[in-house]
Amino acid sequence: MGKTAKELVGEKAEEIITELNKALADEWLAYVQYLMAASIVKHPNAAKELEAVAKEELEHAEELTERILQLGGKPVVDQKQLYEITNCGYEAPSEETLQSLRGALKGENCAIKIYHKIAMMAKDTDVVTYNLVLHIMEEEIDHEERFEALVEWIEG
């Protein structure tokens, strides 16, 4: 399976694997960041939403991992390396709900741009990756809307 997938993508495979690994680092960091935020923020409804979104980031990490393996790449597994290759970084969460949500929004904003970039890169050479990152990007757009709505609600 890996062989054919890689053949179809051709020369661009290495470049795509690199970008998918950087996005994978973003997803793992977002997953941990949101789970930690959910465990400490003061508003229970924000905690619930952060936990629900964290689960979707975990799904994204799993989906990206699967695609990297199909392309014959090695998914990043070294915790320290996550911080070296991430695009969107890690914003340490705070008990202050608004601060945690703003940190999360920064990540979503970054993720949307990154997936758009990968989609454009994969469009003509790797339709499977293209479809995957479009699907993920749609969910990141949904996350941004959900966090924005929470910020508005808390700010009153």
Q: Which is nearer to Fe ion, 91 or 108 (CB)?
A: 108
Instruction: Measure the CA–CA gap between 45 and 31, rounded to whole angstroms.
Output: 18
User: Which pair of tokens denotes residue 154?
Assistant: 């808390």
Is 97 within 8 Å of 42 (Cβ atoms)? yes
Q: How far is CA 30 from CA 1, 5, 56, in A?
A: 30, 28, 10
- To Fe ion, the closest distance from the beta carbon of 84 in angstroms equals 19
| Residues in CB range of 120: below 8 A, 6 or more apart | none
- Least distance CB 142 / Fe ion (angstroms): 8
Angle between helices 13-40 and 97-122 (to 10 degrees): 170
> Cβ closer to Fe ion: 6 or 51?
51
For Fe ion, the closer CB: 22 or 60: 60
Residue 35 has which token pair?
């789970």
**Closest to Fe ion by CB, 19 or 27:** 27
Q: How far is the CB of 102 from Fe ion (least distance, A)?
A: 14
Give the residues lining the site for Fe ion (CB under 5 A): 27, 57, 60, 108, 140, 143
Q: Give min distance, CB of 141 to Fe ion, in A.
A: 9
